[in-house]
């Protein structure tokens, strides 16, 4: 999708991903306007200052729970990137109704507004937590994925399309392991849940580039999964807290030992497209064809503990040294 002259709306735009996505659009794409849709006026003001009050920025106070506000905000928009969500696992567990209102009802509202205003393309950000979820956050994101995949059935003529992008932990996002261990190392003790634990890992620039690279591939209903490296939590401790005492805290409620980005069941209707997997809808009521790529073998599973690409100590150190401050 050529974004030249286009109007892009980003929900949750003042978060880590949204801020980096805006930076990329401003510096590398000749967009007409970027609508910053979020609830926090202070963060919007800070974001505007960060980008020197670029005249292409439009600061829209709003909540994805508010359908009427979304309808107003999405008029004459060419692309929606839906990044707004309640993401902290403990907060979602303690405030379950709020998580449902934002992550599920908010997703439905984005879809409804896009259909009402004939927005050609909407991409929703998902997470590995949505795969075989063990916490409410993951469950709400699974529901959101299903809504965005099957939301295409409400616009069968192909003028409006929805898809998902699902990836793993973003390095230096709030609560991620590298900045956490770096901070804990300063006081001499780090808390490790389990030294066997593994995670998928992606940087913010990689996440932004991946979302942009998916735009031209969307027919409607896909979930795009990047092929990304895994890391071992014990390796992160070795690199960033080698002298610190290690305290084994145990796996927290709602946490997994390993993460999965593609299940055996999904593999039956997914394709290997080189640098990514593409999960296609099983029963689309809209016109589409299979993507370019190879069918996956029976029983294929893409999990963080059984990956063919692992971050080395050197790569981890370089990544930690180059981290940008999290938004």
Write out the catalytic residue numbers: 129
Q: Which of 14, 21, 85, 80 is nearest to 45 (CA)?
A: 14
> Dihedral sign, CA of 99, 94, 43, 205?
negative
The residues, any chain, with a CB within 8 Å of residue 192's CB and separated by 6 or more, are 233, 234, 237, 246, 247, 248, 249
The residues, any chain, with a CB within 8 Å of residue 282's CB and separated by 6 or more, are 269
Would you call 315 exposed, middle or buried from its count of C-beta atoms within 10 A (0-12, 13-18, 19+)? middle
Residue whose structure tokens are 């409607």: 220
Report residue 279 as tokens: 């999960």
Provide the β-strand partners of residue 165.
125, 224
Q: Which of 194, 310, 191 is nearest to 257 (CA)?
A: 194
CA dihedral 137, 257, 209, 294 (to 10 degrees): -110
Distance (Å, rounded) from C-alpha 280 to C-alpha 220? 9
Long-range CB contacts (< 8 A, 24+ apart) of 41-44? Answer: 43/14, 43/327, 44/14
How many Cα neighbours within 13 Å face the side chain of 14?
A: 20
The number of helix segments (H) and strand segments (E) in the chain equals 12, 17
Distance (Å, rounded) from C-alpha 129 to C-alpha 135? 8
Residue whose structure tokens are 């974001």: 47
């Amino acid at each position: 999708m050529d974004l030249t002259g286009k109007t892009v709306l980003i929900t949750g735009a003042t978060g880590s991903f949204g801020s980096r996505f805006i930076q990329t659009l401003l510096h590398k794409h000749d967009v007409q306007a970027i609508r910053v849709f979020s609830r926090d006026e202070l963060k919007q003001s800070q974001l505007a200052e960060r980008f020197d009050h670029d005249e292409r920025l439009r600061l829209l106070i709003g909540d994805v729970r508010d359908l009427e506000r979304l309808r107003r905000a999405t008029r004459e928009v060419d692309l929606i990137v839906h990044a707004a969500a309640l993401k902290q696992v403990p907060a979602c567990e303690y405030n379950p109704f709020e998580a449902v209102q934002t992550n599920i009802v908010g997703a439905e509202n984005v879809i409804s507004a896009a259909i009402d205003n004939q927005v050609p393309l909407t991409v929703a950000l998902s997470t590995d937590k949505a795969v075989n979820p063990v916490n409410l956050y993951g469950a709400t994101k699974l529901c959101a994925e299903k809504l965005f995949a099957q939301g295409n059935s409400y616009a069968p003529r192909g003028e409006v399309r929805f898809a998902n992008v699902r990836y793993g932990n973003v390095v230096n996002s709030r609560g991620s392991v590298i900045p956490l261990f770096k901070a804990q190392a300063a006081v001499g003790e780090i808390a490790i849940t389990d030294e066997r634990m593994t995670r998928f890992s992606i940087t913010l620039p990689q996440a932004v580039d991946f979302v942009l690279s998916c735009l031209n591939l969307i027919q409607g209903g896909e979930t795009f999964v990047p092929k990304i490296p895994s890391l071992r939590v014990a390796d992160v401790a070795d690199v960033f807290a080698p002298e610190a005492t290690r305290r084994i805290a145990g796996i927290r409620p709602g946490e997994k030992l390993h993460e999965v980005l593609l299940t055996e069941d999904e593999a039956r209707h997914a394709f290997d497209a080189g640098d990514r997997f593409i999960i296609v809808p099983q029963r689309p009521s809209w016109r589409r064809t299979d993507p370019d790529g190879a069918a996956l073998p029976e029983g294929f599973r893409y999990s963080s503990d059984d990956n063919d690409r692992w971050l080395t100590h050197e790569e981890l150190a370089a990544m930690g040294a180059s981290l940008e401050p999290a938004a």
